Amino acid sequence: MSEELWSKVDQHLESLFVSKDPSLESNLRESQAAGLPSIQVSALQGKLLNLLAATAGAKRILEIGTLGGYSTTWLARALPKGGRLVTLEFEPLHARKARENLERSGVGNLVDIRVGPALETLATLVREGSAPFDFVFIDADKENYAGYLTGALKLSRPGTLIVADNVVRSGGILDPLSTDPRVLGIRKFLSKLAAEKRVDATAIQTVGSKGHDGLAVFRVL
Ligand code: SAH
Ligand code: DHB
Ligand code: MG
């Protein structure tokens, strides 16, 4: 088994299940041209997020980690009439590119981009008495995932569905000698999630064009 094969299989599945979308292709091209890192979810993962949010009937979606708005677009397209998505991003350049990309995809009017450190923005949303979110996607700096879990739960209601990206890191989470702060952050997140009584959780490994990684999926009780 190799990354090359996983990528080929992803290409095949994408050709079967993801319709060609010029605006999403532009999103990737423009983000890359602006020097943003190419670490967005794959098209197949974007579609999974879209299907999950739509199935959850999510009217209010929270995303932590916008980048160029690629996953944001997939999620925003799951919103019903009157729905809204709030996405949190630290880097002004990323937020600016995301804004352009979202406008081009026709979902700009559905999305609020809040620029700043997400832990602070989450605290602000709590303070503002923001209505609970129906679906949350956690995908920013791995060091702060445990804090994002706490923040997301404060902004949830029973039944809220939460997905967290990158929870396996090529199996790095099992390496007892790892000093990578991202790996340590994910490990802390996973143990906190496992001990969290307010959720019912699972995690699945994934392979594909993004290598070997995984998603945690949990529901607020
Ligand atoms: N969800 C995106 C990818 C996000 S990449 C997609 O799949 O399309 C992670 C993003 O989190 C980057 O844009 C990075 O700038 C941002 N980020 C990193 N640290 C952050 C922080 N402390 N607060 C908010 N955003 C942060
Ligand atoms: C990285 C971040 C991500 O969210 C991702 O999906 C892949 C890689 C990174 O920071 O390297
Ligand atoms: Mg990710």
Q: How far is the CA of 110 from the centre of ligand 2 (A)?
A: 25
Q: How far is the CA of 11 from the centre of ligand 2 (A)?
A: 20
| Domain boundaries defined on the chain | 3-220
**pLDDT above 90 for 122:** yes
Cβ(170)–Cβ(207) under 8 Å? no
Give the pLDDT confidence of 57-88 residue by residue, as tens digits.
Answer: 999 999 999 999 999 999 999 999 999 999 99
DSSP 109: G
Give the pLDDT confidence of 128-187 residue by residue, as tens digits.
Answer: 999 999 999 999 999 999 999 999 999 999 999 999 999 999 999 999 999 999 999 999
Pocket test for ligand 2, best of 38, 39, 44 (most atoms within 8 A of CB): 39
**Residue identifier of the C-alpha nearest atom 17 of ligand 1:** 140
Residue 105's nearest CA partner among 31, 32, 215, 168 is: 31
Q: Which CATH number fits domain 3-220: 1.10.3210.10, 3.40.50.150, 3.30.70.120, 1.10.10.60?
A: 3.40.50.150
Q: How far is the CA of 196 from the centre of ligand 2 (A)?
A: 25
DSSP β-bridge partners for residue 163 = 137, 217
**pLDDT above 80 for 1:** no
Rounded to the nearest angstrom, the gap between the alpha carbon of residue 6 and the centroid of all alpha carbons in its chain is: 21
Which pTM was predicted? 0.98
Whether 165 lines ligand 2, by a CB cut-off of 6 Å, is yes
Average pLDDT, the chain: 98
Cα torsion 50, 77, 218, 3: sign: positive
Query: CA dihedral defined by 74, 78, 81, 87, rounded to 10 degrees?
Result: -50
**Residue identifier of the C-alpha nearest atom 22 of ligand 1:** 117
